[in-house]
Amino acid sequence: MYTLTIEREFAAAHALREYDGKCSRVHGHNYRVEVSVSGELDGSGMVLDFSLFKRVCGEVLDELDHRMLNETPPFDQQNPTCELICKHIYGRLAEQLRPSGVRVRRVRVWETPTSSATYEPTPEGP
C-alpha cells in the first residue's frame, strides 16, 4: 500500500455558533489543507497522477474559497469548526476520487500555523 500526500490552501471567513469567545464574531483564516490518499500501484507505477489529485482537491476547495462559510452548504446548517471542515473536505474528496480506486486516508486542516484538526475515518468507514 502506498500513500500520496498533497497540500493546498484556501481563504474563508466564519463565525462559530454556540461559542462564547472571540471566534463567535466573523473572522477569517488562510487555511492550509493536507490530504493523504492510499492505494496500490497501477500499470504505470503510480497510485494516482499528482496532477489529477491536485485538480480534484482544488475543485473541492474552490467550493469554500473566499466564502463566508456560515452561508455555504453544509455550514449554513452546521457549525463551521475546523473539525467539521476536515470531515466535509474528506467526504467531498472521497466522492470525487472513488472512481480512481484510491482511498482518502486523512484530511488535516490548519486554521493558523500552529493550530490544526485532522479527520481520519474509522476502519468501518466515515
Please identify every residue annotated as catalytic: 23, 66, 111
Distance of CA 41 to the CA centre of its chain: 24
Give the closest residue to 110 by CA, choosing from 33, 36, 6, 14: 33
Task: Please confirm whether the linkage preceding 123 is cis (ω < 30° from 0).
Answer: no
Beta strand 67-68 with 2-14 is parallel
C-alpha cell at position 15? 463565525
Q: What is the DSSP string of 28-40?
A: EEEEEEEEEEEE-
